[in-house]
Amino acid sequence: MRKLFACSVLAGLSILLLTACRAEKTATDDRSLLWQISGKGLAKPSFLFGTMHIICKQDYLWTDAMKKALSASEKVCFEMDMDDPEMFKQAALGMEDTSSKALKDYFSVAQYEQLKQFMQDSLGVDISQMPDMKPMMLEMMLTAKMVPCAIPESYEGNIMTIASGEKKEIVGLETLEEQMNLLNNVPDDSAAQSLLSLADSFSKSKAQYTQMVASYKNQDLPQLYAQVKKSKDEGLDMDAFLDERNKKWIPKIEEKAQKNAVFFAVGAAHLYGPGGVINLLRKAGYTVVPIK
């Protein structure tokens, strides 16, 4: 569960949307994936949307309110700048282990053979053909396999397609280098043990993913937060992946939303809780309310 987490349109659309949304808000209801950010001198309201990075088509949720918010926004902001042509090239380079250790060196002979068989059976991947792959990257590949469909949907990909079609500028809250550094800060030996643990408890992890999807479809951020907190209580340190990044995002969100209506789309696990983006924006003086 650890990794379970465009130019302007008419300004009048923001006003029309704001009027429509006032009738849809429920101030005491935290069960929403879409939030409006206003106040503190913002020229126009912006929007905060919680995504699941990959999800099956039958579970994909995209309501009229979400469509309106995206349409009313002048820019789209993801965790990273998704239309940067260099991003995928840099990501591919970041998957390789540049140390002197080969992948098999992180495991005993028995562990490596067990992992090799599991990856072959689960992903159809022969890890002996990728000796320089980092254990963390293999874990990310295995985590993606929890999605029970052959061709999953991507909120970021779909939103980017809409934004590009409407000539909206696409920006990011952090660089690929920052995300890669986050992963690289996890010691390789720890990542190797985490990979083995995930392989050993893969059925349980898939069941946890199914529970998270159910909470997501219900737009139940409190329940999602409880599931993430449970993973922390079980020993997974989520602070670096969630709370610390959230704190760094707030001034960047403030800067980007100052003059433009922005549709911020980040993993839903970043939104709720004391260290979540919603609470941090409120503490910074903004009005953040759910939109249904």
Run of H or E including 18 = helix 11-22
Structure-derived torsion over alpha carbons of residues 239, 241, 243, 247, reported in degrees to the nearest 10: 130
Strands 46-51 and 34-38: antiparallel
Q: Quick check: pTM over 0.75?
A: yes
> What's the angle, vertex CA 241, arms to CA 237 and CA 246, rounded to 5?
125
How big, in percent rounded to 5, are the helix, strand and coil portions of the chain?
Answer: 50, 10, 35
pLDDT of residue 81: 78
Highest mean pLDDT among 125-134, 172-181, 281-290: 281-290
CB 173, CB 252: distance < 8 Å: yes
Q: Which residues are paired to 50 by β-bridges?
A: 266
Mean pLDDT, rounded, for 6-35: 45
Asked which of 21-30, 103-112, 121-130, 272-281 is least confident by mean pLDDT, the reply is: 21-30
pLDDT tens sequence across 213-257: 999 999 999 999 888 877 654 545 566 678 899 999 999 999 999
Distance CA 152, CA 64 (A): 22
Tell me which DSSP letter residue 269 carries. Answer: G
Distance CA 187, CA 176 (A): 19
Distance CA 219, CA 240 (A): 24
pLDDT of residue 122: 85
pLDDT of residue 237: 56
Residue type, 47: F
Distance CA 268, CA 32 (A): 10
pLDDT of residue 292: 84
β-sheet with 75-78: strand ranges across: 169-172, 75-78, 262-267, 46-51, 34-38, 287-291
pLDDT of residue 88: 55
Burial 204-230 (b: 16+ CB within 10 A, else e): ebeebbeebbebbeebbbebbbebbee
pLDDT of residue 232: 55
pLDDT, mean over the chain: 82
